[in-house]
Amino acid sequence: MPNTVEIPVSALENDAAYRAAVIDLLGLLAYGELEAFERLAADSALAPTIDDMGALAGHAAAEQRHYELLRSRIVELGADPSAAMAPFVAPINEFHARTVPSDWLERLVKAVVGDGIGADFYREISRFVDADTRAIINQVMSDTGHSDYAMAKVRAAVQADPAVAGRLALWARRLLGEAVTQAQHVIAERESLDALFMPNATTALAASAASAAATASAPAASAATLDLAEIKNVIERLTDNHYQRMFALGLAKTSERA
């Protein structure tokens, strides 16, 4: 993981563009968590046993707590949570509409892939925010226990019937593709997030980042600019992590990309 940019917490008060970007980011994460709650609750309702039903209800409730945390933080920053979430309803719903699982195993794979990409995204974005915002993101990233649960179930199913692996591997690839597509839409449509990912793109954010870099260690200064090379690196890391998860699920022969 590359260096972290130390944006001062005071930027939330002094820097309107940075503040707007953080509220946008929190809105995106909040709606993402709320949707994760809905998805896990729906999985719970369709679970094959009462045990699974109860376990998934617990995972859903953990996502609801993450949502609540993000929502409270948006209120704390003086913004309206519904307004902050609104721009992200369409792309997140679109992702789910384009990736409706056709059975229980596809649901589990979607949970593992979706949670994984989400956690990777949180980890990347947390490099470009102030310490207070990073603390919230880290709390929200804390495991709900769901990935381990879903991963164990998928692995067991693949071992019991290796024939399902091909179909599930294709499904996972489609999920990754749709997630990247919707992420591109979000970044293209929300200039503030764009600014967060590329701090040099706006004067205000550049000023924040520069003043922060001045007090941080030298390597952080270059990390502040998420330029094209850096974006390529981010995508590389996300993809590498995805292939590692595929291997862990028993859906790929190696953890390297084909």
Site residues (vs a copy of itself, CB under 8 A): 31, 34, 37-38, 41-42, 44-45, 49-51, 53-54, 57-58, 60-61, 64-65, 67-68, 71, 81-82, 85-86, 89
Q: State in angstroms the smallest separation of the CB of 97 from a copy of itself.
A: 13
CB of 86 or CB of 131, closer to a copy of itself: 86
- Sequence-distant (6+) residues with CB within 8 A of 16 are 204
DSSP secondary structure letter of residue 255: S
Q: State in angstroms the smallest separation of the CB of 38 from a copy of itself.
A: 5
7 φ, ψ to 5°? -80, 130
Decide: 234 and 221 in contact? Cβ < 8 Å.
Answer: no
CB of 37 or CB of 243, closer to a copy of itself: 37
Q: State in angstroms the smallest separation of the CB of 64 from a copy of itself.
A: 4
- Sequence-distant (6+) residues with CB within 8 A of 200 are 206, 209, 224, 225, 227
CB of 37 or CB of 171, closer to a copy of itself: 37
Q: State in angstroms the smallest separation of the CB of 57 from a copy of itself.
A: 5
CB of 96 or CB of 174, closer to a copy of itself: 96
Q: State in angstroms the smallest separation of the CB of 242 from a copy of itself.
A: 27
Where does residue 129 rank: exposed (0-12), middle (13-18), buried (19+ CB within 10 A)? buried
DSSP alpha helices (H): ranges in 46-199? 50-76, 81-98, 104-125, 131-141, 146-160, 164-189, 191-197
Q: State in angstroms the smallest separation of the CB of 122 from a copy of itself.
A: 20
CB of 94 or CB of 240, closer to a copy of itself: 94
- CA-based nearest residue to 127, from 18, 33, 224: 224
- Sequence-distant (6+) residues with CB within 8 A of 190 are 24, 28, 87
CB of 52 or CB of 230, closer to a copy of itself: 52
